[in-house]
Amino acid sequence: MLRIALTGCVIIASFLTAATPSVAADNSPDVVYVPTPNDVVAKMLQMAKVKKTDLVYDLGCGDGRIVVTAARKFGAKGVGFDINPQRLKESNENIKKYNVGKLVKVENKNIFDLDLSKASVITLYLLPKLNVRLIPQIEKMKPGSRIVSHNYDMEGIKPTETVQFKSREDNITHTIYLWTVPLERETSE
């Protein structure tokens, strides 16, 4: 089911990115909403070694599950960014439901306009092209900052770790990529 949804996500998003090569002028999302299964979220945060002193940014936060989980499991601060008001509403409901308002907030901002330098962990579930477009922003982050991406790589950048994780929620094997700042370029050999 999710595989079908994700395939649809890629097709629709490819259309969107093809139709809007840069940031959408009307501020519409660059990729449709598909939530990361909760056990994949937990694995992503574990791979990024999230701890209490981290500031986690989820770029395109959906219902806020990643930043909410980082606060609940590890006591980390988090900010989720999205440009879909419905997603921000759902995020705020989850922040309230899990009582993490002291640690987590969400903001209505386009991810390509963000200064990422204060964050120590970035989480992504976007598309390969969008990950690549984020490289100039990621390169301004502090050394030792970690980036984790669900399913999609960042062409030209060597991952610190790649894990295949089978979710018990959807029975699908998900790829999770971890990169560490400073980013390491792949060599062409």
Ligand X SMILES: C[S@@+](CC[C@H](N)C(=O)[O-])C[C@H]1O[C@@H](n2cnc3c(N)ncnc32)[C@H](O)[C@@H]1O
Residue ranges that bind ligand X, judged by CB under 6 A: 29-31, 33-36, 58, 60-62, 65-66, 81-84, 87, 110-112, 125, 150
With both helix axes pointing from N to C terminus, report the angle between 65-74 and 85-97 in degrees, rounded to the nearest 10: 20
Sign of the CA dihedral with 48 first, then 111, 90, and 9 last: negative
The stretches of the chain forming alpha helices (DSSP H) are 2-19, 38-47, 65-74, 85-97, 128-133, 135-138
Q: Rounded to an integer, what distance in angstroms lies between the CA atom of residue 126 and that of residue 59?
A: 8
Report in angstroms how near the CB of residue 83 gets to ligand X at its nearest: 4
Report in angstroms how near the CB of residue 180 gets to ligand X at its nearest: 20
Q: Rounded to an integer, what distance in angstroms lies between the CA atom of residue 97 and that of residue 167?
A: 24
Report in angstroms how near the CB of residue 189 gets to ligand X at its nearest: 34
Report in angstroms how near the CB of residue 188 gets to ligand X at its nearest: 30
For ligand X, give the closer residue by CB, 85 or 144.
85
Report the residue number whose CB is nearest to ligand X: 60
For ligand X, give the closer residue by CB, 92 or 110.
110
For ligand X, give the closer residue by CB, 23 or 158.
23
